Amino acid sequence: MDQNYLIGAFKPSCNISITFSDAKNRKQVPMKKENGQTLMVPLFHSQENIAGKISIEPLQGKKVDQVGVKVELLGQIEMYFDRGNFYDFASLVRELDVPGEIYERKTYPFEFSTVEMPYETYNGVNVRLRYVLKVTVTRAYAGSIIEYQDFVVSNYSPPPPINNSIKMEVGIEDCLHIEFEYNKSKYHLKDVIIGKIYFLLVRIKIKNMDIEIRRRESTGSGANTHVETETLAKFELMDGAPVRGESIPIRLFLSPYELTPTHRNINNKFSVKYYLNLVLVDEEDRRYFKQQEITIYRLQESS
């Protein structure tokens, strides 16, 4: 048997293309594929309409003998320890055609109205949450032909009605006593953390002090919980020894860092939390920590 014939046998007998009806005016955002490449894909928000056209074009001289054409809108969570196994938290379907033969290019309009997409797209260390349109052409005697189109979802939050400051004391008995204050406990992605640190008692020689932004991603549940902590930013507050009564200001801009909103218990599958970590190092290189959770949210950008 001719080798080329074999290759041809496994080629799909048609090309499927998916286009969004408002593609020209809709914002495009970068999305990293599994192979490391970055694609530009459209950005949607919850409750929006997702509409467009699907074209099926048989290859020259071929026909597609199909027993059904459908498009699905899927919201999926994939754990990396269970790669390739998607958990669908959202699933909508539209049947596009009755069984029949497709001889030439055929275009189907589709629409999903005011789609509930409660969770944001997320690409983490051990988990990802994605939204995708999936077109399936089912054939009677051959395998289905499937095409995917990714898109990204992000959701805005109103500014929190109550946003208390964070005040904490940290001390080592009779050696060190400091008090620190951050102006808020909830910050939007482009916010500035403003704060102060007061030294009330200093009997150990402090060499330097840093503040870190940490992201903690926890996946799974119970005994199978897996926690991954990343330090996203490190900011030197002080170099040299402080004296009693001294106060050190903090101004930390969040916009340079690739933060996401805080995600709490997304579909019982994962959480993403952020912490401010204060690190003091003494002259003997002993490290003292104080960690405090902050909430991050996405504020609607004023156009």
Is residue 79 domain-shared with residue 196, that is, in the same domain? no
Is residue 92 domain-shared with residue 8, that is, in the same domain? yes
Query: Looking at the domain assignment, is residue 240 inside a domain?
Result: yes
First to last CA, the chain: 63
Q: Report pLDDT for 3.
A: 45
pLDDT in tens, 77-136: 999 877 778 999 999 999 999 999 999 999 999 999 999 999 999 999 999 999 999 999
- Per-residue exposure over 32-43, b if at least 16 CB sit within 10 Å of its own CB, e if not: eeeeeeeeebbb
Is residue 103 domain-shared with residue 228, that is, in the same domain? no
Query: Could you tell me the pTM of the whole model?
Result: 0.86
Per DSSP bridges, beta strands 287-297 and 263-266 are unpaired
Structural domain ending residue among the three candidates 153, 178, 197: 153
Is residue 171 domain-shared with residue 147, that is, in the same domain? no
Structural domain ending residue among the three candidates 153, 188, 206: 153
Q: Report pLDDT for 7.
A: 46
Q: What is the DSSP letter of 298?
A: P
Q: Report pLDDT for 54.
A: 96
Q: Between residues 106 and 176, which one has the greater pLDDT?
A: 106
pLDDT-derived band of residue 177, with 50, 70 and 90 as boundaries? confident
The answer to whether the beta carbons of residues 88 and 73 sit under 8 Å apart is no
Q: Report pLDDT for 6.
A: 47
Query: Looking at the domain assignment, is residue 303 inside a domain?
Result: no
Q: Report pLDDT for 84.
A: 77
Structural domain ending residue among the three candidates 153, 186, 210: 153
Could you tell me how many residues make up the chain? Answer: 303
Q: Report pLDDT for 242.
A: 72
Q: Report pLDDT for 302.
A: 64
Domain that holds residue 183: 166-297
